[in-house]
Amino acid sequence: MAARRTAARVRDFYAAALTEAERLQLADARRVDGLDEEIALLRVRLRSALEQRPQDFDLLREGIALLVRAVATQYRLSPRARKDLADRMAAVLNSVGDQILPADGGDR
């Protein structure tokens, strides 16, 4: 019960600094699970930075570093992400195996 009151106070604390539109967006943001949207946004922004300022290596390096940290955090925090990663790795290994030894036995 105390944890709920604390969480509500924190929400109220930050909500006071937001506009009404931002408070509505914050409510929507609370329903987003994981970091998929943020990682996608970082990728879009990184691509835009590369297109608009291809010589700004500091900006690109920082953008890439931020993206790497976000992806690493996503996999470190999410059990579902761990399973997804394991499934993807298994699919890659199966694909490589199919290339080396096709299911039809390689008869041509």
DSSP codes, 59-108: HHHHHHHHHHHHHHHHHHH-HHHHHHHHHHHHHHHHHHHHHHS-TTTT--
Threshold 0.85, pTM exceeds:
no
DSSP 11: H
Q: What is the pLDDT along the chain (108 residues), one digit of tens a residue?
A: 666 666 666 667 878 888 999 888 888 888 887 888 899 999 999 999 999 998 999 999 999 999 999 888 887 766 777 778 788 878 888 887 777 777 776 554
CB 65 within 8 A of CB 25: no
Task: Please tell me the distance from the alpha carbon of residue 13 to that of residue 21, in angstroms, as a whole number.
Answer: 16
Domain ranges of the chain: 1-31, 34-102
